[in-house]
Amino acid sequence: MARFARYDSMFLRLFVVMATIMLCVHLLGVTVIESLFPRPGGHHVPHEMRGNPPPGAPGPPQGSRPPPPPPGLRGIWPPHLGMLFQLAAIVAASWAGARLLARPVQQLASGAGRLAQDVHAPPLDEHTGPAEARAAAQAFNHMQQRIRMQLAQQSRFLAAVSHDLRTPLTRMSLRLEGIADNPVQYRLRQDLAEMNGLIDSTLYYLRDRDEAAGPRQRVDVLALLQAVVDDAAELGHEVLLNGQAAPLLAYPAELRRAVVNLVENAQRYGERAHIVLTDSAQRVRIDICDEGPGIPPEELARVLEPFYRLESSRSRATGGVGMGLSIAADIVARHGGELTIANREAGGLRVRIDLPRA
């Protein structure tokens, strides 16, 4: 049954129900009309006289076959050309009616799918379809507006808090200048640098998310990845790129940010990164591989959590602030895609980005 579940849609159900009803009504009508109004040239034989000759009439010769029924009494079988045209008309009318009835529900399902992938997707059309479909579209659009408002309020709150934290951090840095050099001053400077890094990561993340509020753009994925490779080469890092892909609808700044974060992680832990680009009719796949030690299997799911790091230390020089993977995963999710992490059999880590084309 699971194999046929993919074909179980409202359109198919409506089509089968309407075709069955219309076919039954048609067959019933043909049968009744044939019995009440025989076709021209047919002979209506009373039921009580069928099979038995009237009294006193000579019977058929012994051994002879009964005469075939007249053409007008053959009923609905075998089918003739007119009946085939009628059957085709029933199927066409059922298909058109089922499509007309199922179209509003299909549009709602498509709109809900776009909303699940991108909260900034265009709203549903509230002026087409029956009253129930228009009411459902209005409810979807209202929910989308509420979600956007909540995300905007959350972004403004986090941005304000992050910005306000810079003032006391700046005062602490200035006061540290008056303290003699000692191990405590060194640790305090490290803590301040880490806090500034957390604030910068949060502000950059919120800025990129606000920039993605507009419509998606047609992005040349290969050119975007090549720009990331060129930037890494200018800094003396080795990054390889293979593969081809057709342009894709995406948020260019966000997608670049996600790839840069993953490439920086690959360089930090594996010394070099290898990007493999694969294209298909359904999706674009970007694999970022490194030659590092990999990640323990029990930690693969947790590394996508914000501020989670595998290192026991909290130094930004060894492991950053723990936001790179979580930001990349969130960016990919807003594109309707999926980010997965797995250890390579040959050693190292592979981070895979799957971006749908639809």
Q: Is 340 helix (H, G, I), strand (E, B) or coil?
A: strand
* CB distance 129 to 104 below 8 Å: yes
CA distance 27 to 313: 81
Q: Is 204 helix (H, G, I), strand (E, B) or coil?
A: helix
What is the CA 282 to chain-centroid distance, rounded? 10
CA distance 170 to 176: 10
* CB distance 138 to 126 below 8 Å: yes
What are residue 274's phi and psi, to 5 degrees?
A: -130, 120
Nearest to 43 by CA among 20, 74, 15: 74
> Using only C-alpha atoms, what is the Rg of the chain?
36
Q: Provide the sign of the torsion angle of the four alpha carbons 264, 268, 272, 274, taken in this order.
A: negative
Predicted pLDDT at 7: 61
Nearest to 167 by CA among 195, 190, 202: 195
Predicted pLDDT at 315: 41
Residue 332: count of CB within 10 angstroms of its CB: 23
Q: Is 234 helix (H, G, I), strand (E, B) or coil?
A: helix
Predicted pLDDT at 150: 83
Cα three-residue angle 108-114-116, rounded to 5 degrees: 100
Q: Which residue ranges of the chain lie beneath pLDDT 50?
A: 43-44, 47-49, 71-74, 312-318
Pull the structure tokens for residue 236: 């003396």
For the chain, the farthest-separated pair of C-alpha atoms sits apart, in whole angstroms, at 140
Pairing of strands 283-290, 217-219: unpaired
CA distance 328 to 260: 9
Predicted pLDDT at 314: 38
Predicted pLDDT at 352: 93
Nearest to 336 by CA among 275, 250, 259, 254: 250
Q: Provide the sign of the torsion angle of the four alpha carbons 13, 16, 20, 22, taken in this order.
A: positive
What is each CA distance from 111 to 236, 299, 328, in whole angstroms? 46, 36, 25
Predicted pLDDT at 148: 82
Q: Is 32 helix (H, G, I), strand (E, B) or coil?
A: helix
For domain 216-358, the CATH superfamily is Histidine kinase-like ATPase, C-terminal domain (3.30.565.10)
Collect all residues with Cβ–Cβ distance below 8 Å to 11 and sequence separation of at least 6.
98, 99, 102, 106
Predicted pLDDT at 63: 55
